[in-house]
Homo-oligomer: A and B are copies of this chain.
Amino acid sequence: MRSFSRGALDARPVTLTPGVNKHAEGSCQVEFGDTRVLVTCSVEEKVPPHVFGTGGGWVTAEYGMLPRSTHGRMKREAAQGKQGGRTLEIQRLIGRALRASIDLKALGPRTLTLDCDVIQADGGTRTASITGAWVAMVLALRKLKKKSTINQLPPLTHVAAISVGVVKGEVVVDLDYDEDSTAEVDLNVVALEGSRLVEVQGTAENGHFDRARLDEMLDAGTATIEKLVALQKQVLG
């Protein structure tokens, strides 16, 4: 039996709680079951060098885990003196996903930074981060509009993400930590509303997978993403 008594193709209960931080321009706490991530969106009226002078803006992300967000205590990256490869890989993924959802040119010369900090981890922290970051980003843009920093929101498309895997030979959606540890295949899917893919990362953790299996996983992933998009809409009103 899966956690939360759910079926193979069901995600865990998902909650998106907007406005959880009084300082940030936008914020959202996202929960996928026992996975809990706090996302804030910070706005700076400047852009990184590679965008400077183009008139457009930039969206970037940083990711971190609290030391005891995990089963055993992880060493604090700040104390270690560097961010690990997994951290850097995840924050690059989140940044790409968010940039796919917004018209950077229309954003104007400003940078949105999405900080995704894992308060409690139980599998799926990167997909939860992406799903919640979209909400935090939209809230930040709305605040900019309200303050008349921008005249109108740049064109936006919902983006969300979910993990899919093969566990004991069966395709399952939104793996928790126990499932993730034993999965034969692990696939993260990021898509815009309407099953338009922006990122597909599939890895055979043990063995390999064929095209039929990949199709089955992608079907399950995009179907779930549509549900996450519906939830984002509901939360954002």
Given contacts A88-B89, A211-B197, contact A40 B62 (CB under 8 A): no
Which A-B residue pairs are the 10 nearest by beta carbons?
Answer: A85-B88, A77-B78, A196-B208, A40-B68, A42-B73, A200-B202, A78-B78, A198-B204, A24-B68, A89-B89
- What is the copy number of this chain in the assembly? 6
Choose from B22, B82, B113, B209 the contact partner of A73 (Cβ within 8 Å): B113
A38 within 8 A of B: yes
A117 within 8 A of B: yes
Q: Complex formed: what's the CA distance from A96 to B201 in Å? A: 13
Choose from B27, B71, B76 the contact partner of A62 (Cβ within 8 Å): B76
Is A81 within 8 A of B81, CB to CB? yes
Q: Which residues of B contact A67 (CB under 8 A)?
A: 40, 42, 62, 113, 115, 117
Choose from B72, B81, B199, B214 the contact partner of A197 (Cβ within 8 Å): B214
Q: Which residues of B contact A84 (CB under 8 A)?
A: 88
Which of A22, A92, A208: most chain B CB closer than 10 A?
A208
Q: Complex formed: what's the CA distance from A80 to B64 in Å? A: 13
Q: Separation in Å of the A217 CB from the closest CB of chain B?
A: 10
Q: Which of A134-181 contact B (CB under 8 A)?
A: none
Q: Complex formed: what's the CA distance from A78 to B64 in Å? A: 8
Is A66 within 8 A of B83, CB to CB? no
21 contacts between A and B (CB under 8 A): A21-B120, A22-B122, A23-B71, A23-B72, A42-B72, A42-B73, A62-B79, A64-B66, A66-B117, A67-B117, A79-B83, A81-B81, A85-B89, A100-B207, A192-B208, A197-B214, A198-B209, A199-B202, A201-B201, A201-B202, A214-B218
